[in-house]
Amino acid sequence: MTVDLVVKHATVVTPDGKVPDAGIAIDDGTIVSLGRSGQLPDAERTIDANGSVVVPGVIDTHIHNREPGLEYKGDWESATRAAAAGGVTTVVGMPNTDPVIDRPEALELKFERGEAAAHVDFQSYAVVTSENVDRIPALDAAGALGFKIFLGSTVGDVPAPTDGEILDAMTAIRETGKRLGFHEENGEIIDHYERQYRAAGKNRPIDHAHSRPVLAEREAVERMITFASDRDVPIHMFHVSSGDAADAVARGKERGVDVTAETAPHYLWFTESVLEEKGNVARVQPPIRSTDQHERLWEQFSAGVIDCIATDHAPHTDEEKLVDDPFGDTWAAISGFVGLETQVPAMLTFVDEGRLELEEWVYHHSTRPAQVWGMYPQKGSLRIGTDADLTIVDTDEAWTLEDRHALHSKNTVTPFEGESFVGRAHTTIVRGQVVYEDGRVTGEPGDGTRVDVD
């Protein structure tokens, strides 16, 4: 038997451990065997990994792909090109597009655009607002991966439903078997302080961070855990930024609530001093926190409380980010920055520093996200018969992101410019197709497809 592709002489790493001098055989987009390098079948093409680490394809379940409607910021093609170049094989798009993804027609349009343009596999959340609780079954049937509620105002100004409407939404989502995630900041608290800060003329980048206190995040986590425990619905906390919010997630898990959480590399890498160094470039919601909150977030991440790593990749133009005047009036700047191509390097740098094991990285960045969002074992497992999504990484390469314009996103503002890393992805394989190698995106728009979930 001759298969399509064999990757050999790799150290294959899964959450279960590391296997040296191993390889993977792929046919028709699927993993057909795993074994020692010498025992794999013949192939049309063989990639000699030369001792590199091969892991189940990295999954980023939090990107703002911006399409439909906000293509001036980014689109499916540019986001998934960046994903391929960053070693990411599946992405999940957020619903704060234009139109917002609040009805089946909008979701179908988003999927159609993705089928035409994506370099890697993709999915999307549907949003729940005051207006569309009755459309939850239809959004489920149209194939949404899960649901999202914005509790506090953020980019896109999607209004938060009332607490009563959230309870109704939870009852409806429970019937779908899917998970409900939150932008968890208490909207009344952050709106109140924003008004107060603006009136007092506090307009530095760090003032924006302080106007959205940790308390607003923690309270939102606790309230949603209380609601979910009553309605018996699985929930998820997007972009957990603080030790206090992580502690609240831990308490929810201890109580037996099905609450999962993610954090982003920027919360693990930076503390709020980055706002004094890089200004509005590092402005994000929720904000990058104090050293104390950052260290306690790390403690909870190390303890396993945070399930997933996801970027919150959020491209904006240089003008929107006030790049020419990074310390200008923060209320004129927008929140969010790109992350697809710096997440694997950041996490591998933490591995290099001894802050986590490679197996733990794979768990949080591939296996666990697939489980949380119902894509496992098709994604995130490396099991025979599943999608042949692989990320091949060099764990030793030391490098610096000298110039953000080398990134593949349409807009490239990131606080990681100028940061130094150890490790990066050098080859990305989606369902057996090499979409990135040797510094080049080798796939075509449309290679990616929607991940089907029931």
Could you tell me how far CA 261 lies from the centroid of its own chain? Answer: 11
Structure tokens at 339: 């992350």
Q: With helix as H, strand as E and coil as C, how does 245-311 read?
A: HHHHHHHHHHCCCCEEEEECHHHHHCCCHHHHHHHHHHCCCCCCCCHHHHHHHHHHHHCCCCCEECC
155/390 with CB nearer ligand NCD: 155
At which residue do the structure tokens 């520093």 appear? 353
Residues 77, 312, 360, 447: which binds Zn ion (CB under 5 A)?
312
CA distances from 430 to 119, 218, 232, 427, 447 (A): 9, 37, 35, 10, 8
At which residue do the structure tokens 């409607």 appear? 69
139/314 with CB nearer ligand NCD: 314
Output the smallest distance, CB 446 to Zn ion, in A: 26
Structure tokens at 229: 């425990």
249/314 with CB nearer ligand NCD: 314
99/304 with CB nearer ligand NCD: 99
Could you tell me how far CA 149 lies from the centroid of its own chain? Answer: 16
Q: From ligand NCD, Zn ion, none, which one binds at residue 284 (CB under 5 to 8 Å depending on kind)?
A: ligand NCD
180/314 with CB nearer ligand NCD: 314
35/187 with CB nearer ligand NCD: 187
346/425 with CB nearer ligand NCD: 346
Using the 8-state DSSP alphabet, how is residue 333 labeled? S
Distance, CA of 2 to CA of 346 (rounded, Å): 38
| Of 44-52, 149-157, 324-332, 382-390: span binding Zn ion (CB under 5 A) | 149-157
Q: Is 278 in the site for Zn ion (CB under 5 A)?
A: no
Structure tokens at 155: 């980019």
Output the smallest distance, CB 220 to ligand NCD, in A: 12
Structure tokens at 73: 């910021």
Q: From Zn ion, ligand NCD, none, which one binds at residue 367 (CB under 5 to 8 Å depending on kind)?
A: none
| Of 153-161, 271-279, 369-377, 382-390: span binding Zn ion (CB under 5 A) | 153-161
Q: Which long-range contacts (CB under 8 A, 24 or more apart) does 433-442 make?
A: 433/29, 434/5, 434/47, 435/84, 435/119, 435/120, 436/84, 436/85, 436/87, 441/81, 441/84, 441/85, 441/119, 441/408
Q: From Zn ion, ligand NCD, none, which one binds at residue 389 (CB under 5 to 8 Å depending on kind)?
A: none
Contact between 180 and 308 under an 8 Å Cβ cutoff? The reply is: no
Distance, CA of 28 to CA of 3 (rounded, Å): 8
Residue among 102, 97, 108, 106 nearest 134 (CA): 102
Q: From ligand NCD, Zn ion, none, which one binds at residue 186 (CB under 5 to 8 Å depending on kind)?
A: none
Residues 119, 178, 183, 368: which binds Zn ion (CB under 5 A)?
183
Output the smallest distance, CB 228 to ligand NCD, in A: 20
Output the smallest distance, CB 116 to ligand NCD, in A: 22
25/314 with CB nearer ligand NCD: 314
Q: From ligand NCD, Zn ion, none, which one binds at residue 410 (CB under 5 to 8 Å depending on kind)?
A: none
Output the smallest distance, CB 55 to ligand NCD, in A: 26
Q: From ligand NCD, Zn ion, none, which one binds at residue 364 (CB under 5 to 8 Å depending on kind)?
A: none
156/446 with CB nearer ligand NCD: 156
Where along the sequence are the contacts to ligand NCD (CB under 6 A)?
64, 96, 154-156, 183, 284-285, 312, 314, 335-336
Distance, CA of 143 to CA of 123 (rounded, Å): 9
Output the smallest distance, CB 156 to ligand NCD, in A: 6
Residues binding Zn ion (CB under 5 A): 154, 183, 312
